[in-house]
Structure 1
Amino acid sequence: MTRVLAPVAGRVVGLAGVPDPVLAEAMVGPGTAVDPIRAPGRAAAPVTGTLLKLHPHAYVVLDAEGHAVLVHLGVDTVRLGGTGFEPLVPEGAHIEAGRPVVGWNPAAVEAAGRSPVCVVVALDAHPDALSRVAESGEVEQGAELFTWT
């Protein structure tokens, strides 16, 4: 079982609260989302593993059980061309859950006309493989968002 942790602090809104139909309807995979605190910060690794893919606005961490977890910082933030995001770890690195991966400013993302909602998705997972999925309430960075079996 993999515990998937919140990469950012904020208010859990669930996938239904994501202003993007592909993500909101779990077409990429099941998971949840966090509307982050509007302050500069660092998004963290949701699981321990290998930083499989890294873009300024998104990253995937692959754990020892073969679970790939996508963290997408904001919605449609690829259009920002990396502006406002600072990768902190090289792609391919082994990282511990909770380690900062990308520096970013959710308020600046919002000011640029994009939603800063942070999506956390279990890639290629069956919805039944997730349990205790957070759908609402406040969450601290590093708190459990869901488990994946």
Structure 2
Amino acid sequence: MFGKLKNLFSQPGITIASPVSGTVVPLAEVPDPTFAQGILGPGAAVQPSEGRIVAPANGTVDMMFDTGHAVSMTTSEGAELLIHVGIDTVSLKGQHYTAKCKSGDTVRKGDTLIEFDIDAIRKAGYEVVTPVIVCNPDAFASVKTEDAGSVQAGDDLLTLEKK
């Protein structure tokens, strides 16, 4: 009985995992004003330590960009996410990126979405910091970011509180 009563009053959040291993960076520190100012939505960023993006939750791929540098998805709980690998990396026209999924694919948390060559991207003069943006924040009461520090792909990155 107590468990049922507790569930009535607690609104568990929706957890969004880190799509990549690395170091969590506050969105405000991303060297691109569109991300840093939250114009596309709230979220966090990760400075990757490996070149593999995985699904941060179960859901559907809405759009895999032709260049492979970004992917948008809707989680099974309704969060619309954008994962953007690097800053201004669309200019690479797909060089150093390999898409591992396509628009319309159903994915499970941990499925590989994109592989990329960190060293080659940096050598070409681009940042690889990877913003993870919640594009429909109005659907949630709040978007909370885990503390900065080291993170593994699959670790909690964001918590979305249901309205």
TM-score by length of 1: 0.92
Render the CA deviation track for 1:1-49: whole Å, top value 9, x for unaligned: 3211111111111102211011001110000000111x4x321111210
Q: Which runs of 5+ in 2 are unaligned?
A: 1-12
C-alpha contact (below 8 Å) 1:17/1:24 kept by paired residues: yes
C-alpha contact (below 8 Å) 1:47/1:61 kept by paired residues: no
C-alpha contact (below 8 Å) 1:32/1:135 kept by paired residues: no
* 1:18 is the counterpart of 2:30: yes
Give the number of equivalent residue pairs: 146
Correspondence for 2:60 among 50, 56, 63: 50
Correspondence for 1:35 among 28, 44, 47: 47
Distance 1:26 1:49 in 2: 23
Larger radius of gyration: 2
Distance 1:113 1:15 in 2: 21
Runs of 4+ in 1 over 2 A off after TM superposition: none
C-alpha contact (below 8 Å) 1:75/1:115 kept by paired residues: yes
Counterpart of 1:130?
143
TM-score by length of 2: 0.84
* 1:97 is the counterpart of 2:112: no
| Pairwise CA RMSD | 1.4
